[in-house]
Amino acid sequence: MLSIAFVPSIALLVAGVALAGYLLYNAVAARTFISKVHDSATIAVQFFASVQQERQLTLTDLATNGSVQPQLAQVRAKTDSTGAGQAQNLSGLYDQAPPRVQASINQTAANLAQLPEFRAKVDAHQVSLLDAYTFYNRILDTYTDGLLGVAEGTPDAKTAYLRATAMPLFVAADQMARSVALASGGIANGGLSDDEFSAFIATTGAYHAGFDNAVPEMIPTVAQQYSALKASPAWATVTSVEKSIIDGNHRSLPAGVTAQQWQAASTQVAGALMNLYIQQSTNATNVEIDTGNQMLVTAIAAGAAAIILALLVTIIAWRMSSRLVRRLHRLREETLEMADTQLPDLVGRVRNGEDVDLETEMSFLDHGEDEIGQVADAFNKAQQTAVAAAVDEAKTREGTSKVFLNIAHRSQVLVHRQLKALDEAERKQEDPDQLDLLFKLDHLSTRARRNAENLIILGGERPGRQWRNPVALADLIRGATAETEDYARVNVGKMPAVAVNGPVVADLIHLLAELIDNATSFSPPQSRVEVWGDVVGRGVVLEIEDQGLGMEPEQIDELNAMLADPPDFGVMALSQEPRLGLFVVARLASRHGISVTLRPSAYGGTRAIVLVRSELLTPVPLADEPEPAAPVPSQGQTASHPSLPVRRPQAVPSAEETARQVAGSLAQAQAQVDAAGSNGNGNGGRVDLFRPQREPRYEQQQPREPQQPQGRTGQHRAAPQPARPPQENRAPQDTRSRPQQGPLSPDRPQLPRRRRQQNLAPQLRTDEVPYEAPSSYEPREDPDLARSRLASFQQGTRRARDTDPAATDFFGERR
């Protein structure tokens, strides 16, 4: 590889660069510079004419208080356009230009940068005629100095002389335009001042003398055109106005000459004079181009031998290097294909748990055993290492996920069995204090089951609880409320008469339970959490509002972004504040297309808005519409008197179990409904209509270690709990009749038996086994209902005895 690079380099250095490099470089540089100067002449002439016209109109505008503003605006736009093109040409000449030309280019750029500010002063009439005249003259003088620098920097003496003889024509043409601009502004202003008159005489005499002195150096065609111009009527009109002003009549034009005639004549003469300069300068440029071509030919001839020799060496080097380049291109394409397509696809499949045969599906690069082949082998090893790391990572993640999901499933089964045992204990217990303890254990167990379901959801699977039939929204809300620890503080308002499709029920209960538990955890213990719903155009909206401390707007925006687009669980696990509760809500909402949004509450807390799409809802038959929620507690009911706990809806039992457990009486079912609706609070009584009679079936999932529900992590902490928790009015938690596990006590009457699903909504019933009424029906008073009423009476009297009468007002409220 080194020999391929050294052979052409050494040959070209020895045979060609030393012989022809210097001459060739000088010839090309000179010709390039000449060409750029020639190409920029056209734009330069347009720029000169535009600046001269803007100068004349500016002086007229200042003299007439803005009478020529439309014409001036057009000329300014033209000046900006030509100035931009001229600046671009000058930047291309800058590196090769002599120092004097570079200084002129810098000064021209500075003058153009001041042009917008100066125009603003002109429009505000903050400058005088002479100041405006001087400003525009400075722009043209700077460019004139640059042209003189180009003439001085020309390497050929003949060309330099021709350029020097062309410059007086340019200076004289500009002097003529200056005198016209100064005269037009002065006459429009009512006459020239002394300074303006002196400047007019100087510029007029200078341009006449300049042309007279330049006539001997003019090329024949330019001299003929100059003679014709002096004999033209336009020249006579211009000179007559000049003579009139010099003779002292500088307040008006001479007789027989109108302003339009004078302006037209002066424009024609100025253009003709500038054209004379262009022709004279073009002649010098053509001569300079011819000289540069001759220098280029000489340099080419001098280096011809070196080029022929270098060509032979280059052919040899090309044949060797082309093969190397082709191999490198193939290595590059194959490596990019492997890195951009094959490797990411393979790693993605491995991470998704697919079985991948690395020996057959991995493609290896084969480029021989030389240096390029060694580079390809290095890429192969890198690919193998990356895939092996991805395989190990996927196996580790899969194993860890399976372990934690298995733990979560086992915990869920144990909690479900624990709930069944608590139901049995609650049904047999009569002591109010023991019942109160059992109820607390029941709710803690329900929360533990929800934590296990959180791990299952985070593991990418679905919880085992499922519904086949739609469930009324009001029942679903009560079930979600029952899964929160401070259910007594939740006030459920009136819900629309709609039902939620069965496959969505479990996830929606879980979602609402997380939000309600979040609201109760981050709000003062004596405050209420309001839950209400209504029908909107796109479905049903549910709002959960607490009275806590709220969150910062930035934090609300961050959480709303997470709820709208839940990130990868690995990102959540690595963050300092995982917010697992809201992350579970985001996962569930994303699964069913439910919208969850957090907003500041009018009470200072936070309002969670849940929008359930119409596709997830179904109407409730008229006969099974849920009853309106109970009214808001009266003025005498305080936070220390919580409502009865509520059970969340459970999965509908199978038809086989229903047929096995069909028994009981209608009176018992009616007593259960009465007891469930006896609570005066808005969240209703304890509802066990959806408790499954069997353990739910679960798929093998990957659990995670249960964590305390995070809820709204990082927003605000709940107010400190009081030293003495509030007493609760509780009725019996479960009025269902179950098959007895042992004989009844001798002093207790036989309990009535009920038929399963007798009190369920039609959507929740299973119709595999039809129900037949018993032949004999003797309604009796339900012992559980009696026990509930007695327990409520005892707790009420106990609170009355514990309350200080002096600390309450007439309505029983705390002072």
φ/ψ bin of 460: left (φ > 0), alpha (ψ from -120 to 50), beta (otherwise): left
Residue 750's pLDDT is 54
What pLDDT is recorded for position 671? 35
Question: Which pLDDT band, with edges at 50, 70 and 90, does 811 fall under?
Answer: very low
Highest mean pLDDT among 51-55, 565-569, 760-764: 51-55
Range 410-656+679-718 classified under CATH 3.30.565.10:
yes
pLDDT band at 784 (very low <50, low <70, confident <90, very high): low
State the Cα–Cα distance between residues 131 and 182, nearest whole angstrom. 11
Report residue 778: phi and psi, to 5°.
-125, 100
**pLDDT band for position 213 (cuts 50, 70, 90):** confident
Rounded-to-integer distance, Cα 209 and Cα 175, Å: 11
The tokens describing 32, both together, are: 């390039």
Q: What is the mean pLDDT of residues 464-471?
A: 81
Q: What is the pLDDT of residue 744?
A: 42
- Cα atoms in the 13 Å half-sphere on the side-chain side of 145: 16
Token pair for 504: 């969505």
Give the number of other CB atoms < 10 A from CB of residue 336. 10
Read off the pLDDT band of 84 (50, 70, 90): confident
- Asked if residue 477 has pLDDT above 90, the reply is yes
pLDDT for the residue 596: 95
Q: Look at residue 538 in the predicted model and tell me its pLDDT.
A: 92
Of the candidates 228, 174, 188, 196, the one whose C-alpha atom is nearest the C-alpha of residue 45 is 174
- Sketch the domain layout of the chain as residue ranges: 12-302, 410-656+679-718
pLDDT at 230 over 90: no
What is the SS3 assignment for 117? helix
* Strands (E) located in 537-663: 539-545, 595-600, 606-613, 617-619
Mean residue pLDDT across the chain: 72
The residue-averaged pLDDT of 593-601 equals 94
Cα–Cα nearest to 489, from 439, 436, 547:
547
- The pLDDT score that the predictor gives to residue 323 is 81
DSSP characters over 180-198: HHHHHHHHHTTS--HHHHH
pLDDT of residue 693: 37
> What share of the chain in percent tops pLDDT 90?
10
User: Is there a contact between 139 and 169 (Cβ–Cβ < 8 Å)?
Assistant: no
The predicted model gives 502-530 an average pLDDT of 91
Report pLDDT for 421. 87
Say whether pLDDT at 514 is over 70: yes
Per-residue confidence (pLDDT) for residue 579, from 0 to 100: 64
Averaged over 200-223, what is the pLDDT? Answer: 84
Confidence tier at 713 by pLDDT (50, 70, 90): very low
pLDDT per position as a tens digit, 370-407: 788 888 888 888 887 888 787 787 777 777 777 777 77
pLDDT in tens, 320-329: 777 888 888 8
Query: Residue 370: which residues within 8 A CB-CB, separation 6 or more?
Result: none
Residue range 741-777, pLDDT digits in tens: 444 444 545 555 555 555 555 545 544 444 444 444 4
Residue 688 buriedness (CB in 10 A; 0-12 / 13-18 / 19+): buried
d(CA 454, CA 514): 10
What band does 673 get if pLDDT is binned at 50, 70 and 90?
very low
489, 683 Cβ separation under 8 angstroms: no
- C-alpha 150/C-alpha 281 separation (Å) is 11
Q: Tell me: the pLDDT tens digits for 680-700?
A: 334 433 334 333 333 333 333
pLDDT tier at 535, thresholds 50, 70, 90: very high
Average pLDDT over residues 525-546: 93
**The pLDDT value given to residue 802:** 61
Helix (H) or strand (E) holding 536: strand 529-536
Taking the C-alpha atoms of residue 578 and residue 389, their distance in angstroms, rounded to an integer, is 26
Q: What is the mean pLDDT of residues 795-813?
A: 52
Query: Lowest-pLDDT range, 580-584, 636-640, 777-781?
Result: 636-640
Specify the higher pLDDT residue, 472 or 57.
Answer: 472
DSSP code string of 220-289: HHHHHHHHHHHTSHHHHHHHHHHHHHHTT--SSPPTT--HHHHHHHHHHHHHHHHHHHHHHHHHHHHHHH
What's the whole-model pTM score?
0.39
Instruction: Report which listed range, 112-116, 363-367, 448-452, 593-597, is most confident.
Output: 593-597
> Does position 792 have pLDDT exceeding 80, yes or no?
no
- DSSP label at residue 492: E
Per-residue pLDDT tens over the stretch 134-168: 888 888 888 777 777 776 666 667 777 777 777 78
pLDDT digits (tens, 9 = 90+) for 421-464: 888 888 888 888 888 888 888 878 877 887 777 777 777 677 76
**Residue, of 334 and 663, whose pLDDT is higher:** 334
CA-CA distance, 300 to 740, in Å (whole number)?
A: 116
Token pair, residue 116, equals 């917008």
Q: Which residues pair with 534 in a beta bridge?
A: 541
In this prediction, residue 542 carries a pLDDT of 96
pLDDT above 60 (res 580)? yes
Give the model's pLDDT for residue 158. 74
Q: Is the dihedral of CA 615, 619, 624, 625 positive or negative?
A: positive
Digit-coded pLDDT (tens) for 253-275: 777 778 788 888 888 888 888 88
Closest CA to 34 of 132, 160, 196: 160
Q: What is the pLDDT of residue 274?
A: 82
Residues above pLDDT 70, as percent of the chain: 69
